[in-house]
Amino acid sequence: EQVDETYIMVKPDGVQRGLVGEIISRFEKKGFKLTGLKLFQCPQDLAEEHYKDLKGKSFFPKLIEYIVSGPVVCMAWEGVGVVAAARKLIGATNPLQAEPGTIRGDLAVQTGRNVVHGSDSPENGKREIGRLALLASFTLCDGYFSS
């Protein structure tokens, strides 16, 4: 089977609320491999590039303001089917519609403060991690774990 990688980011509210450990724990317990991790302050241009598909939306300025409002925890996770599985663990965009048992369903109430990002396709996973490598010296520890 194809091993994919996904970009998971604990957003500023998740970091401020002390949810980093809880969120990492859910991916670890599921059995995926952590291949990269960095706490950093996301610059405006990277936030805008990351969310460029939403540029026309009315909430875009607020979204960018939120993402750059404090440090985020960037992670790369690897595994078979990891992109779709991570989206399931994260839950629906609107936390009030996210199922209990999901990260957003258990830990958040507002769409604009939904604590975590996960890539929506394997292509975007690669793209988002590659962009961080370029702009934020985010390096992966591939091959560190035995599979």
Q: Is 17 annotated as a binding residue?
A: no
Q: Is 27 annotated as a binding residue?
A: no
Q: Where are the alpha helices (DSSP H) in the chain?
A: 12-16, 20-30, 44-50, 60-67, 82-90, 103-107, 122-136
Q: Which stretch binds Mg ion (CB under 5 A): 9-17, 42-50, 68-76, 118-126?
A: 118-126
Q: Is 6 annotated as a binding residue?
A: no
CB atoms within 10 A of CB 55: 11
Total of residues contacting ligand DAT (CB under 6 A): 9
Whether 117 is catalytic? yes
Minimum separation from the CB atom of position 112 to ligand DAT (A): 5
Contact between 114 and ligand DAT by CB under 6 A: the answer reads yes
Contact between 71 and ligand DAT by CB under 6 A: the answer reads no
The dihedral built from the CA positions of residue 128, 130, 136 and 142, taken in this order, carries a sign that is positive
Q: Rounded to whole angstroms, how far apart are CA atoms 91 and 1?
A: 24
Q: Among all chains, which residue has been given the structure tokens 């507002």?
A: 110
Q: Is 145 annotated as a binding residue?
A: no
Contact between 105 and ligand DAT by CB under 6 A: the answer reads no
Total of residues contacting Mg ion (CB under 5 A): 1
Contact (Cβ atoms closer than 8 angstroms) between residue 119 and residue 83 = yes
How does DSSP classify residue 1?
-
Contact between 19 and ligand DAT by CB under 6 A: the answer reads no
- Catalytic residue selected from 8, 117, 125, 128: 117
How does DSSP classify residue 6?
E
Q: Rounded to whole angstroms, how far apart are CA atoms 67 and 96?
A: 20
Q: Rounded to whole angstroms, how far apart are CA atoms 28 and 24?
A: 6
Residues that bind Mg ion (CB under 5 A): 120
Q: Which residues have a catalytic role annotated?
A: 117
Binding residues for ATP: 11, 59, 87, 93, 104, 114
Residues that bind ligand DAT (CB under 6 A): 54, 59, 63, 93, 111-112, 114, 117, 120
